[in-house]
Structure 1
């Protein structure tokens, strides 16, 4: 896959939690993240179900929200009442404690794996195009409006607009297995007016913006327009 030049225009479903209110259409200026018209969440992937404080309460809640698990817990607790005791306490609490211990350990291992994978993705370095040249930036620090260079075999770090490729015919092949599960390569073409620019640095010399629809769950359709105003004076 050839080297490609992208514009980051991401907005996710957590926008409401970040103070942005309901998701709405947005206008993003090319290479000028400071001109964003609303507040966006960070470009961070988080697949963990719990944090440090909610881990144990969350695991216990998910176990005892089922009727039979809750029934066995209440039955074990009832054995502390002498009039209701049917046998030794360990016959109730040892099996329950063993099941809970195995569950907690399994969830802890899974959460650790998710943390390691998320950290690896969020810390992956990309090249950001600026007026002073290219600078390295972590995936988690990419902002809406940044110009990001994605190299061959690199993972696309966010929702992006394809602006330019090093291939003269303007073709680029992407694999979307992380979106729709399809592992075959798909042909993508860049914006025509930006592909005709002599170099990638010329993207910073034009005044352009993208108008994009509000975020939604449909990954197969996108409504947006790319507008080039004029050259910078």
Structure 2
């Protein structure tokens, strides 16, 4: 047993070193490091399944209603409808309830259909075939079954199934050309570079003998930022360490061009890829029109509530005068507090 490795792990865990917390270790080919190297610590990473849909069959109704009533306009008309149901007002609840029901229903149908299309697109992407290098052979598997550490073979005009570190290419100089139009809109070909110590690996058998690990930062959405290093184990006591940068990182969604084939290792998969992280952050944003409309509605609601409050106070002052009796149609059985609350709600209905 290598007690030095165990002691190093315990020290890092207790001290909480920053580079230990903010980095991940990926073993190429998911092979354990050779004896004498740093202790092998299995880590759990998500599979390569992409989920761009928002709803499932079970959460569609509550989640969709919650998202729709987060809009100030819908929530306002819901409150007006409930007030009309609770108190006796001269206007029918149908006048606000029926249009609200129509808008909510049509929006739910539209969003449900769009989400169904996203489910279909996700299934097509997740079942797309990829070629993995395993035990010196190329096997075919579904994209969703890729794991971090798997070595994959990508051919010309194929799209990268996940974020990859380039190990070798069919070009002698170890470069490949990639188009990232689907990520950043740039149609020009960009050049990426293979790791210097693995660019000579040209066959699947070569990768079966490779023992290496990659230490890199945790997933983050910046497309142009990546920092890491690769440790290549050999017969020497210390592994060979090489730095890795964004020029070695192939992003999911990009396409291989003018290069016959490449070999690369999966570094970020599924919802941890940079493309997925950017999609998640954008899907939570609201449009500028909705933001401005919400601001106008808040101002309108403040004015409406203030006017209703002023009218209720003036009514209370008027009714406090003993010389002025209440109209005959006001109920005498309610308490004074109840009458003021009902009067305030009725005023809001009148002034909306």
TM-score (norm: length of structure 1): 0.80
- Equivalent pair of 1:42/1:141 in contact (CA under 8 Å): yes
Displacement of 1:43: 1.3
Q: Which has the higher contact order (CA 8 A, sep 6+)?
A: 1
Distance 1:57 1:198, change over 3 A: closer
Report Cα offsets for 1:124-147 as digits up to 9, x if no partner. Answer: 110111115111111111011111
Report Cα offsets for 1:194-217 as digits up to 9, x if no partner. Answer: 121342320111222212122223
Q: Which residue of 1 aligns with 2:24?
A: 26
Displacement of 1:82: 6.3
Distance 1:218 1:92, change over 3 A: closer
Q: Which residue of 2 aligns with 1:84?
A: 89
Query: Does residue 154 of the first structure (1) align with residue 174 of the second (2)?
Result: no
Rounded to whole Å, the distance in 2 between the matches of 1:165 and 1:26 is: 25
- Residue aligned with 1:206, SS: coil
Unaligned runs of 5+ in 1: 1-21
Q: Which residue of 2 aligns with 1:97?
A: 101
Rounded to whole Å, the distance in 1 between the matches of 2:50 and 2:152 is: 18
Query: Does residue 60 of the first structure (1) align with residue 68 of the second (2)?
Result: no
Number of residues of Structure 1 aligned to a counterpart in Structure 2: 209
1:210 to 207, 214, 223: 214
| Within-5 A mapping of 1:91-130 | 91-130=95-134
Rounded to whole Å, the distance in 2 between the matches of 1:103 and 1:61 is: 13
- Residue aligned with 1:62, SS: helix
- Equivalent pair of 1:33/1:143 in contact (CA under 8 Å): no
| Within-5 A mapping of 1:39-78 | 39-78=44-83
Which structure has the larger Rg over C-alpha atoms?
Answer: 2
- Residue aligned with 2:156, SS: coil
TM-score (norm: length of structure 2): 0.55
Greater helix percent: which structure? 2
Displacement of 1:97: 1.7
Root-mean-square deviation (Å): 2.2
Query: Does residue 168 of the first structure (1) align with residue 172 of the second (2)?
Result: yes
Identify which range, 157-166 or 68-77, moves more after superposition.
68-77
